[in-house]
Chains A and B, each alone.
Chain A
């Protein structure tokens, strides 16, 4: 046995992680801006390196911009996609506030779109259009709501894992859509023709009208949901359930009932987005129609830290990113649209990691920190001189 009693020098780690005080909003915004900047830097470098064409950074960012605002048509498509994403994000917001992981946005959108298509297919042209539209909205939103309520019921009564449940419902919705298409076109290739009758009205001509219609519908829903969340008693109950389910129980909130109702609302709004997708934009239904918005919506909600006022800007940025990358794809000669998810995935990694910096501080060992200060102090002083007016006056 080693019986040396020599006092061992205490282990002093190179890096330590320390909790931070809650940062003010404007500081946190800068963290996110820096993260997005680095994300774009890395992705643009990767794209430029793997592109077969001779392009530089300027081309990348020009393409990013022109993807959303390059032409009138692109702009209206941007507005349309932004509205849809905002709708999905706002639909998923209340359930996430309750810590209910609804990963089934995709499925709920698909079910909404599917039911709307069924209504158009069977009753289009056979009844007055306004009646048809109302029928579409009611049936589709209820069907999608049921799609969200089923997992909610099992979650509140049996504690069934809702994230996997909703994921499986996504796939079931996809199979149902496939079934429906092959039921209608038994000899077809699995794609559906567009339905000419019974589409929703648009507010103007062509793409502009469609985009404006989407925007109007989604804005109404968004305002309603935000009022519901911020000013109503129900919104308060949702917030309490999210913070602590036990507290909610003790102050007399019916947690089970509230969870189920909120899931219903969430599903119904996803269904409305589905109606817009099939009834207004595509006049058909396909398994990829949801464009993964259920997942993107989760990202939007989470990046905005469940703050209703931040949802719209974040959705705006993510749509901008998506459209921009679509344009980068075509201009940089990538055949597949897969680069889209590669780039968004990478940028998500950067933005997700920001939450660490906003909550924790990285401290180095004291002797190293001294050395680092020698380098960083002149730099920080320089920036302080630029950004703060007070300092300037003192210097004078």
Chain B
């Protein structure tokens, strides 16, 4: 079964997209086009690594769930701190969202590489401790999953974060489309003035769901470093995370602003992202040259563009972006 590693990897990558995409959906549903998601993804990753290292450094035999919990907590703290800056500047200060987002991406990218290379990696045993944590804790799967044949090896052999991502996406969908809170939030994103007149606390909603979005998007970074890369921090880690962030922002349009559809969307993107590495498996008879393989890396970006074009051409009224997306809300501006 040559396809098993490909499909397994697809799911691992898909989770990164899933977190980023669901986070951005919450932002966009509250009327904020956050181009800072790449920055938040980076910083979330730094937080996850920081939390893991903190615990592993304290005691390498720390119970796995404690390490996992602290890592996720630190990831939330880091990403919410950066997301908080964005929220404060765009909600309270009503600054331009695109520009703030770009500044956030620039900052987040640099900050992550700074924290990882300046503070964590130079420490003694840091990289070994992190890779041990990655393999034994973050990638720990059900012990019997490997014996369950094809299904078990592809779907049940993952670490905690993969299933957590799935649960987050489904819960987000329920929250957005099946509860009153979700209805209010969508109202805020479509027309904040009307929502305000109805009595929905617009600013409060925006803040809460911006923070929720930041927290979820931050897990994408942790999932990439600790789960997909098994705790190994490459030299280009922040650049890679940034690319994931941008693709997740684009994925939101593809999934029509619906978290449950983003599961499917991120699986497709995950497949496209990882497919070039498995080109020989996918096309058995074909031999790829060294430079030909480089060209295969174009696929996810080209597909994103095609998706953007198709969704804009066939755009129906009910699958458009929230109407107030990108516009700051000031109560007295009427």
Seen from chain A, the residues whose Cβ lies within 8 Å of a Cβ on chain B are: 17-19, 50, 101, 103, 154, 158-161, 163-165, 167-169, 171-172, 175-176, 178-179, 182-183, 186, 292, 295, 298-299, 302, 334-336, 338-346, 348-349, 352-353, 355-356, 359-360
Contact = CB atoms under 8 A, between A and B. Distances in A.
A169 to B, nearest CB: 7
Interface in B54-109: 85, 89, 92-96, 98-100, 102-109
B114 A338 contact: yes
Given A163-B35, A171-B301, A302 B291 contact: no
A179 B95 CA distance: 39
A175 B313 CA distance: 27
Q: Give the one of B96, B102, B315 with max A CB within 10 A.
A: B102
Interface stretch (B14-22, B133-141, B223-231, B303-311): B303-311
A163 B93 contact: no
B243 interface: yes
A172 B247 CA distance: 12
Contact of A183 (B98, B114, B253, B291): B291
Given A103-B35, A349-B103, 6 more contacts: A160-B308, A168-B246, A175-B298, A298-B99, A339-B114, A342-B110
Contacts of B93: 352-353, 355-356
Contacts of A338: 109-114, 117-118, 238
A110 to B, nearest CB: 13
Interface of B: 35, 85, 89, 92-96, 98-100, 102-114, 117-118, 238, 243, 246, 249-250, 253, 289-291, 294-295, 297-298, 301-302, 304-305, 308-309, 312-313, 315, 330, 332-333
B301 A175 contact: yes
A168 B301 contact: yes
B332 to A, nearest CB: 7
B89 A345 contact: no
B297 A335 contact: no
A164 B96 contact: no
A154 B312 contact: yes
17 contacts: A17-B92, A154-B308, A161-B253, A163-B98, A168-B250, A168-B301, A169-B301, A172-B298, A172-B305, A175-B295, A175-B297, A298-B99, A336-B118, A340-B110, A344-B107, A346-B107, A360-B94
Contact of A345 (B98, B110, B238, B250): B110
Q: Main SS of chain A's interface residues?
A: helix
Given A335-B118, A355-B96, A349 B85 contact: yes
A179 B98 CA distance: 31
B99 A342 contact: no
A295 B101 CA distance: 11
A340 B114 CA distance: 9
Nearest to A336: B117
Contact of B243 (A50, A159, A165, A171): A171
B254 to A, nearest CB: 10
A170 to B, nearest CB: 8
A168 B305 contact: yes
Contacts of B117: 335-336, 338
Contacts of B95: 352-353, 355-356
A120 to B, nearest CB: 19
Contacts of A360: 94
Nearest to A158: B312
B324 to A, nearest CB: 16
B312 A159 contact: yes
Nearest to A172: B301
Given A186-B289, A345-B106, A164 B312 contact: no
Contacts of A298: 99, 102
B84 to A, nearest CB: 11
B128 to A, nearest CB: 20
Contacts of B113: 336, 338
A75 to B, nearest CB: 26
Contacts of B305: 165, 168-169, 172
Find the residue from B85, B103, B308 having the highest chain A CB count within 10 A: B103
Nearest to B96: A302
B106 A295 contact: yes
Nearest to A52: B118
Nearest to B86: A349
Nearest to B305: A168
Contacts of B294: 175, 178-179, 182-183
B31 to A, nearest CB: 16
Q: Pick the most buried of A159, A172, A299, A345: most chain B CB atoms within 10 A of its CB.
A: A345
Nearest to B35: A163
A50 B122 CA distance: 14
A339 B96 contact: no
A352 B99 contact: yes
B119 to A, nearest CB: 8
B304 A168 contact: yes
